[in-house]
Amino acid sequence: MIALVMNDDELLQRALYGIENDGLALDARDNDGGLIKVEGQKAGFLANLEEPFSPDGYYTEGPYYQRYAMYPFLIFALAMHNVSPEMQVFEHKNNVLLKAVNALLNLSDADGEFFPLNDGQKGMSYYTSSLVTAVDVAYYYGEQNPQLLSIAQQQNEVLLDESGLSVAIGIRDGKSQPFVKKSINLRDGQNGDQGGVGILRYGNEELTLVFKYAAQGLSHGHYDKLSYSLYDKGNEVLQDYGLARFVNIGQKGGGNYLKENKTWAKQTIAHNTLTQNQTSHFNGDYETGSKYHSQLQFFDASKDDVQVVSAKEVNAYPGTEMQRTMAMIKLNNFENPVVLDIMKVSSASKNQYDFPFYFMGR
């Protein structure tokens, strides 16, 4: 943004495409010395719109870090839009930044708190200031989705710029519609082919199932293939552990992760999934886990009374295949839906299995 203010083309080049000769960035200039888009660049702002985000707007580190990242992504994109609209940053990768706002809102429970996938801190919600920015910018520079206005009403705050003004005017003029969070399958990976997160919802979030079959999630990822959590409105029924860290404690470095984050929170046994021979998926090795992802078998939420998601994991334990199929079924003789959970395991050897369910309550 300093480059834009100073009209410094070389500095802007560094920001957008990385530093030349760093072994990552490519020369991104045409014959006239102008900036051009480079396919496959590995560094800079545009590369960071490509690799961490899936085509659905899912951020591979999970919603906690997506919430953290959306503000700088959107503010720089807004600056580029104002100064160099021909770059079409908001349109980059088929409007991925604006899609990311919708994906992030869908990764929250009935109280607006983000699901604690990977290193996720519980209690973080879309009431945070970074999401005020995200909602206002997405409304004004997107398709002016009236459902975003209801989120802005809950936030009770807008930006002091033209996007915030447009949101305030939309609310004043009665354009607001409820933001309806439906069942959704959010793909992971740059091209959407590295697993994902399937969310099954019944009614007005009376029951929400979050099924994780995603990629490793970079350094904040957990070894939790085919794990899930379950919510009744905003209440956890089966919980995901999230992270283990101090928060805002000066004597602890302001918020450092505890050693228990690696020895417990990241490990398979801390999640609602299968552990083989008391060893975490991929033996708890980050480099190995980063090579693989689970495979979606099918996702079908077209019917309210029967919704199903199924995925297979074949790399977490070499020689062992796991397939988990989860169905949310509404039966006439039950007031609320039931969840059917089928874990099929086949292995070339005899193993010991631990299969925990971290139930919140009696």
* Alpha carbon 361 to chain centroid, angstroms: 27
CB 105 within 8 A of CB 179: yes
The reply to whether 141 belongs to the active site is: no
The length of the chain, given as a count of residues: 362
Q: Which of 220, 222, 271, 281 is catalytic?
A: 220
Q: Which of 38, 144, 68, 55 is nearest to 96 (CA)?
A: 55
The reply to whether 286 belongs to the active site is: no
CB 264 within 8 A of CB 221: no
Q: Which residues of 227-257 are buried (b: 16+ CB within 10 A; e: fewer)?
A: bbbbbbeeebbbbbbbbbbeeeeeeeeeeeb
How many whole angstroms separate alpha carbon 176 and alpha carbon 153? 8
DSSP 56-105: T--BTT-HHHHHHHHHHHHHHHHHHHHH-GGG-TTTHHHHHHHHHHHHHH
Q: Which of 65, 202, 213, 292 is catalytic?
A: 65
Q: Tokens 């930044």 sit at which residue?
A: 97
Q: Which two tokens stand for residue 342?
A: 């089928």
How many whole angstroms separate alpha carbon 172 and alpha carbon 162? 15
Number of H helices, E strands in the chain: 10, 11
Instruction: Please list the active-site residues.
Output: 65, 220
